[in-house]
Structure 1
Amino acid sequence: MNCYEIIDPRFNSLIDPVAFLEKLHGENRWAEGPVWFADLRCLIWSDIPNDRMLKWEEETGAVSVFRAGVSNPNGSTRDREGRLVTCEQGGRRVVRTEHDGHVTVLADSAHGARLNSPNDVVVKSDGSIWFTDPNYGIISDYVGRKAAQEQETCNVYRIDPDSGDVTVVADDFDMPNGLAFSPDESLLYIADSGWLTDRSAPHHIRAFEVDGDKLGTSRVLAEIAPGIPDGFRVDTAGNLWVSAWDGVHCLTPSGELIGKILVPEVVANVTFGGARNNRLFITATTGVYSVFLNTTGLRYPS
């Protein structure tokens, strides 16, 4: 079945006309945070309300519980040493799984107050870790643990690779969500999904100029509809593959919508993987899907 909506002819060069959308697994309550392990040939993702992370093995297609009782995990990635970095939405912290399996807390507070509920995370080439902190995980007990908000705003943070210091790099978001660097890391794209809980709030992606360990001026790159932008990834040509309520939207580096991968469930996040890094893995409500593309993802640590 053709799963594509061609909006601009440029989209044709990024897709394979005979590739199709595959459903790899169902039975999630809210699938999120896919991360690819090329060395292990597996995909790991979060099932937030069920408080677990699952693993799909490429060679066999087998699905198993990777970890349970992990404080409602959301977005994940890998650092430059191949270690898993995860946003624990319910635990209100960002953690790293070491090679021996033990967990290190990287961030759980800022300015003397607990974080809200870390949502998504990306690692820059210098080893710094950048993450978003909306309040989704503390406004109900479904995808987190209902609690008072201690931070005045919902911020974007940077963890210094040497000192471990946690600093605010952006504080003017309603609900900061997915984030990803451009191929040359001169830009950091950040989604604002405030519209989900406030229909007067944004549902767009902003592009920030990156100035070392700080963010400079920003512009709205694109508004995402229907629904909100959640997690997204960037390919080697700089195109953005963005989650939306009707599938995955493909945006050019200038923010033009040129095509969609149509998915029968609301999409939460994506990541590139597979043997040639040309397979887009999609977490969408109850299901995990994939499709082979005619482009390759950036070689994120994941």
Structure 2
Amino acid sequence: MEIVAEGLAFPEGPVVMADGSVIIVEMTAGRITRCWNGRTETVCEVGGGPNGAAIGPDGALYVCNNGGLDPVKFQNARGPGHEGRIERIDLSTRKVERVYDRCDGIALEAPNDIVFDADGRMWFTDLGKTHDGIRTASGLFAALPDGSAITAINRHAVSYNGVGLSPGGEHVYVADTHQARLWRYDRKVEAQRPVWVASAPGPVGFDSLAVTAAGNICVATLYAGGISTITPGGRVSKFDIADERYVTNLAFGGADMRDAYITLSTTGRLMKTRWDEPGLELHYHG
């Protein structure tokens, strides 16, 4: 295990860039940060609570922003400035634009993770907010990156978090945090019921995910920290990471796609390790 960066404010959403750097979000600091060789550089300040991130077909960085946390109550913040939204960041100018903050007139709650398919369409999850004993709905959405069209695929989920695509693009995988379940959707069908793939044993939760070239789904696992690898047939195995409750995200990179970059959010670190199989190459790169 190699520590790429430390001292980060709840890192999430690693994006491996062509120059070998890794862009992450610092959720509790409201900023986007580039990491390499033990150094960090602020890309831009976005405010709120940046969560998942991905490079889009136009080369910009698209960020799921959950709106941030209330520092006093330690729960999801609400009100002006704390809207859940999808943001676009031009990495050359560092300009931040809001692309979506609602769907069909209904406000987004807490967008969490994002992936782009081969057609250039983004798929993102909305975890929902928890505040004052109230839990709002979660869901899965699909949208065009230019802000012209957004569709709610499912508005009635429990706690959707990680999202990824199968190697052929036929399926969209979604991880449910509180149920520790992995679900599968047909990418070409908008009105559908998800198919259950697997559940993790023990008192754990699921966070974000990445898919391998062979089609296995690697899910960052909370509480008993590690990475749970789930085959398309539902077999589950786990790579444990000691002394880290919030293993929140991973991304593959390197010449052979076997470098796994993993965010350790409790301790504020970005780690790198060699994986036992290559990751699936994403459709768009920085």
Inter-partner Cα distance in structure 2 for 1:215 and 1:122: 20
Matching residue of 2:143: 159
- Comparing both structures, which one devotes a greater share of its residues to strand? 2
Matching residue of 1:273: 253
Is the contact made by 2:5 and 2:39 (CA closer than 8 Å) also made in structure 1? Answer: no
Matching residue of 2:43: 66
* 1:295 and 2:274 matched: no
* 1:171 and 2:151 matched: no
How many residue pairs are counted as aligned between the two chains?
262
User: For 2:101, which of 105, 108, 114 is the aligned residue?
Assistant: 108
Q: Cα offset for 1:299?
A: 1.4
Is the contact made by 1:282 and 1:289 (CA closer than 8 Å) also made in structure 2? Answer: yes
Inter-partner Cα distance in structure 2 for 1:231 and 1:67: 23
State the Cα deviation string for residues 126-155 of structure 1 (Å, max 9, x = none).
01111111223x638xxxxxxx99xx7322
Structure 1 segments of 4+ aligned residues over 4 angstroms from their partners: none
Alpha-carbon distance change, 69 to 122 in structure 1, aligned in 2, over 3 angstroms = closer
| TM norm structure 2 | 0.83
**Percent identity (aligned):** 25
| TM norm structure 1 | 0.79
Inter-partner Cα distance in structure 2 for 1:238 and 1:272: 13
Alignment of 1:130-169 (within 5 A): 130-136=123-129, 139=131, 153-160=137-144, 164-169=148-153
Matching residue of 2:235: 256
State the Cα deviation string for residues 61-105 of structure 1 (Å, max 9, x = none).
322222234322100011123221101111411011234432232
Matching residue of 2:22: 43
Inter-partner Cα distance in structure 2 for 1:180 and 1:164: 22
Q: Cα offset for 1:226?
A: 3.7
Q: Cα offset for 1:291?
A: 0.5
* 1:181 and 2:173 matched: no
Matching residue of 1:26: 6
List gaps (5 residues or longer) in structure 1. 1-20, 141-147, 196-201
Q: Cα offset for 1:276?
A: 2.9
List gaps (5 residues or longer) in structure 2. 68-82
Report which structure shows greater RCO (CA 8 Å, sep ≥6): 1
Q: Cα offset for 1:261?
A: 4.3
Inter-partner Cα distance in structure 2 for 1:86 and 1:50: 14
Matching residue of 1:97: 89
RMSD in angstroms over aligned alpha carbons? 2.3
